[in-house]
Structure 1
Amino acid sequence: MTANYQNYVDGAWTDTEAAETFETTDPSAPDEVVATYQQSTVEDANTAVEAAAATQSEWANTPAPERGAILREAGSILADRKDRLTELLTREEGKTHAEAGGEVQRAIDIFYYYAEKTRDLGGSVKSASGPRTNLYTVSEPVGVTALITPWNYPIAIPAWKLAPALATGNAVVLNPASVAPGVALELFKALDEAGLPDGAANVVTGPGSTVGDAIITHDDVDAVSFTGSGEVGHMVYDKATDDGKRVQTELGGKNPTVVSDSADVEEAAEIVASGAFGVTGQACTACSRAIVHTDVYDEFVDAVVAEAESIEIGPGDEYDMGPQVTESELEGTLDYIDVAQKEGATLETGGGQPEGERFEDGYYVEPTVFSDVENDYRIAQEEVFGPVLAVIEVEDYEQGVEAANDVQYGLSASIVTDDHTEAERFVREVEAGVAKINAKTTGLELHVPFGGFKQSSSETWREQGDAGIDFYTIEKTVYDTF
Structure 2
Amino acid sequence: MTTIDSYNPADPDDLVISVPATDAAGVAEAIAGAREAQRGWWALGAAGRSLALTRAAAAIEGAADELAELVVREVGKPIAEARGEVARTVAIWRYYAQAPFAASGEVHEPAAGQGLLLTRRRPYGVAGLITPWNFPLAIPTWKAAPALAVGNAVVLKPSSEAVAVALRLAELAGLPEGVLTIVPGGAAAGTALIGGADVISFTGSTWVGRSVIAGATERGIPVQSEMGGLNAALVLPDADIAQAAAHLANAIAGYAGQKCTATSRVIAVGDAYEPLAEALAKALAQTPAADPSAPTTSCGPVINRESLERLTDAIDTAREGGATVLAGGAKADRAGWFLEPTLVEAVPAGHPLLEEEFFGPVAVLVPAADLDEAIAIANNTRHSLSTSVHSRSLDVALAAADRLDAGMIRINAPSSGVDFHLPFGGAKGASYGSREQGQAVLDFYTASRTVSVLPAGEY
TM-score by length of 2: 0.96
Name the aligned partner's letter for residue 328 of structure 1: E
1:347 aligns with 2:325: yes
Distance apart, 1:346 and its partner CA:
1.2
Match of 2:213 in 1: 237
Q: Distance between the aligned counterparts of 2:332 and 2:18, measured in 1?
A: 30
1:461 is paired with a residue of what secondary structure?
coil
Answer yes or no: is the 8 Å Cα contact 1:451–1:463 preserved in 2. yes
Partner of 1:124: 106
1:298 aligns with 2:280: no
Shift of 1:224: 0.7
**2:298 & 2:118 partners in 1: Cα distance?**
54
Residue deviations 1:291-334, cap 9 Å, x none? 00121101100000000010132221113321111111111111
Superposition deviation, residue 375 in structure 1: 5.5
Please tell me the residue identity of whatever aligns with 1:68.
S
- Cα distance in 2 for partners of 1:139, 1:67 equals 16
* Residue matched to 1:442: 416
SS state at 2:133 partner: coil
Q: Which amino acid aligns with 1:290?
A: V
SS of residue in 1 equivalent to 2:449 = strand
TM-score by length of 1: 0.92
Partner of 1:13: none
CA distance in 2 between partners of 1:456 and 1:344 (Å): 30
Question: Which residue in 2 is equivalent to 1:462?
Answer: 435
CA distance in 1, matches of 2:384, 2:4: 35
Superposed, 1:41-120 pairs within 5 Å as 41-120=23-102
Unaligned runs of 5+ in 2: none
Q: Secondary structure at the match of 1:181?
A: helix
Compare 130-139 and 162-171 and name the one that shifted more.
130-139
Is residue 330 of structure 1 aligned with residue 308 of structure 2? yes
Structure 1 counterpart of 2:203, one-letter code: T
Give the deviation of 1:55 after TM superposition: 2.3
Residue 6 of structure 2 is aligned to residue 30 of structure 1: no
Contact 2:54 2:97 (8 Å CA) reproduced: yes
Structure 1 residue 453, shift from structure 2 partner: 0.8
**Partners of 1:322 and 1:428 in 2: how far apart?**
35
Partner AA of 1:51 in structure 2: G
Question: Which of 471, 476, 481 does residue 444 from structure 2 map onto?
Answer: 471
Measured against aligned partners, the alpha-carbon deviations of 1:374-402 in whole angstroms (never above 9, x if no partner) come to 55432111111100010000000000000
Partners of 2:290 and 2:233 in 1: CA distance: 27
Q: Distance in 1 between matches of 2:70 and 2:327?
A: 32
User: CA–CA distance in 2 between the matches of 1:183 and 1:336?
Assistant: 31
Instruction: Give the whole-Å Cα distance in 2 for the aligned partners of 1:66 and 1:260.
Output: 52
For 2:180, the equivalent position in structure 1 comes to 201
Q: How much does 1:338 deviate?
A: 1.3
Query: 2:370: which partner in 1?
Result: 396
Query: What is the CA–CA distance in structure 2 between the aligned matches of 1:256 and 1:376, rounded to whole Å?
Result: 16
**Residues 254, 289 of structure 1: 8 Å contact kept:** yes
CA distance in 2, matches of 1:236, 1:285: 21
1:122, distance to aligned residue in structure 2 (A): 1.8
Distance 1:71 1:121 in 2: 18
Distance in 2 between residues matched to 1:340 and 1:62, nearest whole Å: 58
1:255 matched to 2:231 = yes
Tell me which amino acid in the other structure corresponds to 1:146: G
Q: Percent identity?
A: 37
- 8 A contact 1:374–1:392 mirrored in 2: no
Kindly state the Cα deviation for residue 57 of structure 1 after the two structures are TM-superposed. Answer: 2.7
Deviation for aligned residue 1:148: 0.3
Output the amino acid matched with 1:367.
P
For the structure 1 residues 390 and 445, does the alpha-carbon distance in structure 2 shift closer, same or farther, using more than 3 Å as the test? same
Cα deviation digits, residues 180-199 of structure 1 (max 9, x gap):
2222112211222xxx2322
Q: Which amino acid aligns with 2:308?
A: L
Task: Indicate the residue corresponding to 1:246 in structure 2.
Answer: 222
Q: Is the 8 A contact 2:233 2:266 kept in 1?
A: yes
Partner Cα distance (2:373, 2:445) in 1: 40
Q: The residue matched to 1:292 in structure 2 has which SS?
A: strand
Q: Measure, in 1, the Cα distance between the counterparts of 2:145 and 2:346.
A: 45
In structure 1, C-alpha distance between the alignment counterparts of 2:308 and 2:221, rounded to whole Å: 36
The match for 2:361 is 387
Could you say which residue in structure 1 is the equivalent of 2:257?
281
1:12 alignment partner in structure 2: none
Report the residue type matching 2:204 in the other structure: G
Amino acid at match of 1:442: S
Aligned match of 1:480 = 453
Matched to 1:178, the amino acid is S
Does structure 1 conserve the Cα–Cα contact (< 8 Å) formed by 2:60 and 2:173? no
**What residue is the counterpart of 1:308 in the other structure?**
284
Aligned positions, number: 453
- Deviation for aligned residue 1:135: 1.9
Distance (Å, rounded) in 2 between the aligned partners of 1:191 and 1:268? 40
Instruction: Tell me the CA shift for residue 411 of structure 1.
Output: 0.5
Q: Is 442-451 or 58-67 further displaced after alignment?
A: 58-67
* 8 Å Cα contact 1:64-1:121 kept in structure 2: no
Counterpart Cα distance in 2 of 1:190 and 1:288:
36
Q: Which amino acid aligns with 1:252?
A: G
Unmatched tracts of structure 1, length 5 or more: 1-17
CA contact (8 A) 2:318 2:348 kept: no
Supply the distance in 1 between the matched residues of 2:350 and 2:396 (Cα, whole angstroms).
25
Distance 2:425 2:142 in 1: 13
3-state SS of 1:302 partner: helix
Of 124-133 and 236-245, more deviation after overlay is shown by 124-133
2: CA distance between counterparts of 1:278 and 1:285?
11
Which runs of 4 or more aligned residues in structure 1 lie more than 6 Å from their structure 2 counterparts after TM superposition? none
Letter in 2 for 1:417: S
